[in-house]
Amino acid sequence: MNTHHFKNQLSARAFSLIEVVLAIGIFLVTVLALVGLLGPTLKSVDDVEQIDAVSSVVNTLNTFLQKSP
């Protein structure tokens, strides 16, 4: 009877296989969602960098043209 009582205590403290698999599945879905969001974010950063470079060239040309007689 003592062994049966010890087994019940161990089961009450441990996670079942289903709980572990479910937790891993939720974690993977979350990671995949974050990775999916990373692509558009990186493209947006690249677009902003290109716009910034063009703006810098336009400002430089504008300054040069204003200083010309």
pLDDT in tens, 21-34: 999 999 999 999 99
Measure the CA–CA gap between 45 and 11, rounded to whole angstroms: 50
Structure tokens at 17: 């296989």
pLDDT bin (cut points 50, 70, 90) of residue 62 is very high
DSSP class of residue 15 equals P
Measure the CA–CA gap between 56 and 66, rounded to whole angstroms: 15
* 3-state secondary structure at position 16: coil
* 3-state secondary structure at position 69: coil
Q: Which amino acid is present at 44?
A: S
In the chain, the percentage of residues whose pLDDT exceeds 70 is 81
Q: Which amino acid is present at 9?
A: Q
pLDDT bin (cut points 50, 70, 90) of residue 58 is very high
pLDDT of 7 strictly over 80: no
pTM over 0.75: no
